[in-house]
């Protein structure tokens, strides 16, 4: 027998074995289970504090380019005076034409303090990269709500920026499930079970832990509660978020698991909850089915809710 024939046969057999092995691996390899973090709380919003221990570190949302962050927020009361937010041409000021913030170049790659928004206070922050903030006074267009926005620290490899996503006012004296999903540069934000903003950032979000923490919440001057924090590498879609919201809340939209743990945590909340008259009087419409309009300026590109949003409300 020709020795070369044996060589070809052996090589062919090896190729077949390798092909079969690769096929089996591709077809039957175990799927990775998305890592997630859950912290019930509740936590007081009147002071800044860490709400997710570093021992539960999970950087999937930060480094893998995709994930979901959720929390329930209840704002007890609002400041009536003393908050000023003047429009202008400075990078950290809103436009006098549109009322929106544009992209703000940070003073250096590690310091974005020059882009802080006067008058706004932090509800929650993720890794020092994503921050949900509110103006702690009644919104001009809706007296029992506050102006809200999500800011994101981004980079183009040469410098850092602060990009701002304008959001519909956040209801006060009402529990709201806030969900933030990320897929690459695309950021989608939900209130309760409905999308309120979907936009694409101009640059990529920073993928290093700029804050030295996973998540913190609260600020001096705020009065309220945050709880049922959830962080996962999975990008939750609208049906999953809507189903979770329905399963976790009662008929008034209040989270069932937090309600049983509140105790005397928030005096204002307990007074509100103990009075059937106030509870019914302040059952505000659930924000859903918001019709976005094109961005008027600043922030990311794409569809985004502006102060001129159109809301179709339904009472819980």
Summarised one tens digit per residue, pLDDT across range 82-116 is: 455 678 888 888 888 878 888 999 988 888 989 99
Sequence-separated (6 or more) residues with CB below 8 Å from residue 128: 153, 209, 210, 211, 212, 213
In tens, the pLDDT along 239-262 reads: 999 999 999 999 888 898 775 555
Question: Does residue 75 surpass a pLDDT of 60?
Answer: yes
pTM of the model: 0.72
d(CA 121, CA 115): 14
Range name among 186-195, 205-214, 260-269 with the lowest pLDDT average: 260-269
Question: Does residue 72 surpass a pLDDT of 50?
Answer: yes
What's the DSSP call for residue 287? Answer: P
- Residue 185 is predicted with a pLDDT of 92
- Residue 287 is predicted with a pLDDT of 38
Q: Which helix (H) or strand (E) holds 153?
A: strand 142-155
Give 84-90's long-range contacts (Cβ < 8 A, gap of 24+).
Answer: 84/118, 84/119, 85/117, 85/118, 85/119, 85/120, 85/135, 86/118
Range name among 13-17, 22-26, 250-254 with the lowest pLDDT average: 22-26
What average pLDDT does the structure give for the chain? Answer: 76
- Residue 210 is predicted with a pLDDT of 79
Cα 143 off chain centre by: 24
Question: Average pLDDT in the 164-179 region?
Answer: 92
Between 81 and 185, the more confident residue is 185
Q: Which helix (H) or strand (E) holds 106?
A: none
Percent pLDDT > 70 in the chain is 67
Question: Does residue 235 surpass a pLDDT of 80?
Answer: yes
In tens, the pLDDT along 105-146 reads: 998 888 898 999 888 899 999 999 999 999 877 655 555 666
**Domains with residue ranges and CATH for the chain:** 28-304 (2.60.120)
- Residue 126 is predicted with a pLDDT of 92
């Amino acid at each position: 027998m020709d020795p070369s024939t044996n060589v070809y046969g052996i090589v062919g057999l090896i190729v077949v074995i390798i092909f079969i092995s690769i096929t089996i691996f591709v077809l039957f390899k175990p799927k990775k289970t998305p890592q997630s973090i859950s912290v019930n709380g509740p936590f007081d919003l009147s002071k800044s504090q860490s709400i997710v221990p570093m021992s539960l570190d999970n950087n999937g949302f930060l480094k893998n380019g995709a994930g979901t962050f959720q929390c329930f927020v209840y704002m007890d009361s609002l400041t009536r005076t003393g908050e000023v937010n003047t429009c202008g041409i400075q990078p950290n000021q809103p436009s006098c034409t549109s009322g929106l913030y544009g992209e703000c170049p940070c003073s250096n790659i590690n310091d974005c303090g020059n882009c802080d928004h006067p008058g706004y206070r932090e509800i929650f922050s993720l890794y020092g990269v994503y921050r949900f903030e509110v103006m702690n006074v009644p919104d001009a267009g809706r007296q029992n709500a506050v102006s809200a926005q999500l800011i994101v620290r981004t980079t183009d490899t040469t410098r850092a920026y602060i990009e701002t996503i304008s959001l519909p006012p956040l209801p006060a004296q009402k529990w709201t499930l806030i969900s933030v999903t990320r897929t690459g540069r695309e950021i989608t934000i939900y209130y309760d079970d409905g999308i309120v903003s979907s936009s694409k950032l101009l640059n990529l979000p920073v993928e290093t832990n700029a804050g030295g923490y996973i998540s913190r919440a609260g600020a001096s001057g705020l009065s309220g509660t945050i709880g049922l924090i959830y962080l996962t590498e999975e990008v939750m879609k609208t049906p999953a978020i809507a189903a979770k919201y329905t399963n976790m809340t009662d008929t008034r939209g209040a989270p069932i698991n937090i309600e049983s743990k509140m105790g005397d945590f928030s005096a204002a909340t307990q007074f509100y909850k103990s009075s059937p008259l106030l509870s019914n009087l302040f059952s505000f419409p659930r924000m859903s089915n918001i019709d976005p309009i094109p961005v008027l300026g600043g922030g990311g590109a794409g569809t985004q809710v502006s102060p001129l949003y159109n809301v179709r409300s339904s009472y819980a």
